[in-house]
Amino acid sequence: MNVSLVPGIDAVRPSDVQQYLRQKGWLPRGEPREEVVEYIQAVDDTTVKVRVLLDPAFSDYALRTAELIDVLARFERRAFLEILDDLLIPPGDRIRFRIFSESTRSGTIALDDSIRLRQAARQLFLSSAHSTLKPQRHFARLAQASALELLRDCRETQTERGSYVTSLLVPVTPPVGSPELEEPYARRVTRTLMGALAEAFRSVEVGEPATLLDRAQSGVSSNFLTALADMRPSGERSFVEIDVSWSRARPEPVLARSRVKFEQGVFGMFTEAARALRETSPVPGLEVEGFVVRLERPEKGVEQPGEVIIATPLEGYGSAKIHVRLSGAAYAAATNAHRDGLQVRVFGTLTKMGRRFELRDPSGFELLAEAS
């Protein structure tokens, strides 16, 4: 083992090592002796022991830390560098996305594919963040403030070796006091994301994609499946692997799966399931903002209702034209907006029938002032 060629070893902090060990079930043995503390873990009939140097000023700090990581790597059957990364990055749930294909063997990836993967990872996380707040089959917009705020706090960690790997670090705060209060939102989002991936994996395993249409409570939304489908790797025998390393600042949750793998051939199933969810899911309480592009009132008279078409951006569709049936007064206001080129806002339940979007039970119709 050549310690000096491994960047960052001497930057590992004793507190982070101890936090990591405790999270993995290691127990401190006795009191520290001369700034060295031992941790042990029983395995079958033996006890494995590691030593943590509490003072980075020791001249052999890097050497001893490398030895410790080497023991952990063999104990956990993980790569040395993977554990080193876990110790170096700030505490947080770490979600890794690995692309295996002929073209990524070198550890590189086409730029467009890299951008697509990152965008998809972002949407996967954002849709899970929304599902954690309120599970739905489809989100017309992924715009909840708390979800967006959490996304802003997430970090991308440096890429790792092993085909092409990108990681998302979700900041998870440590617990304060005991007994523990509800898990923080960030941790719940990670759970939701991994739970939804487990459902997707199960549907592939049993060969029944229809099961995905009924898993909104587990975080499976059309948005989630669309993002997952966007991760499709290119080339035969390629696959995507997603796993999670839990923050050392909190107890590790028990999940059915902490790692899933999707072969290249299954991504079409996710695309179709996403489409089915999107097109069969009414979206209640949707706020629509856009321009009135068409007016239609079969019966003339200011009291008469009419139908307008509002052009607006819509998640998953780009630009859409939504049909809205308005009362007489609202229709009159829509007429003015159309004349003056002003945007309007209205609330309602969005449905899709074939290729037609319709906003039912509209309320709160108003003109928006022109931007100054």
Residues with Cβ within 8 Å of residue 290, at least 6 apart in sequence: 310, 311, 312, 313, 322, 343, 344
Work out how close the CB of 86 gets to other proteins at its nearest, in angstroms, rounded to a whole number.
Answer: 22
Name the amino acid, one letter, at 299: E
Of the pair 12, 193, the CB lying nearest other proteins is at 12
Residues with Cβ within 8 Å of residue 349, at least 6 apart in sequence: 282, 283, 284, 285, 286, 359, 360, 361
User: Is the Cα torsion angle 229, 233, 239, 243 positive or negative in sign?
Assistant: negative
Of the pair 29, 275, the CB lying nearest other proteins is at 29
Tokens of 157: 């960690």
| C-beta separation of 311 from 258 below 8 A | no
Q: Are strands 283-296 and 306-314 parallel, antiparallel or unpaired?
A: antiparallel
Of the pair 63, 342, the CB lying nearest other proteins is at 63
Work out how close the CB of 5 gets to other proteins at its nearest, in angstroms, rounded to a whole number.
Answer: 8
Three-state DSSP at 99 gives: strand
Work out how close the CB of 37 gets to other proteins at its nearest, in angstroms, rounded to a whole number.
Answer: 11
Which is nearest to 316 in space by CA: 147, 127, 146, 112? 127
Work out how close the CB of 74 gets to other proteins at its nearest, in angstroms, rounded to a whole number.
Answer: 14
Work out how close the CB of 241 gets to other proteins at its nearest, in angstroms, rounded to a whole number.
Answer: 31
Residues that bind other proteins (CB under 8 A): 1-4, 33-36, 49, 51, 53, 57-64
Three-state DSSP at 12 gives: coil
Of the pair 60, 236, the CB lying nearest other proteins is at 60
Of the pair 40, 367, the CB lying nearest other proteins is at 40
DSSP 55: -
Work out how close the CB of 36 gets to other proteins at its nearest, in angstroms, rounded to a whole number.
Answer: 5
Of the pair 33, 355, the CB lying nearest other proteins is at 33
Residue 298: burial class (beta carbons within 10 Å; 0-12, 13-18, 19+): exposed
Work out how close the CB of 68 gets to other proteins at its nearest, in angstroms, rounded to a whole number.
Answer: 11
| Nearest-angstrom CA–CA distance, 285 and 255 | 33
Of the pair 30, 207, the CB lying nearest other proteins is at 30
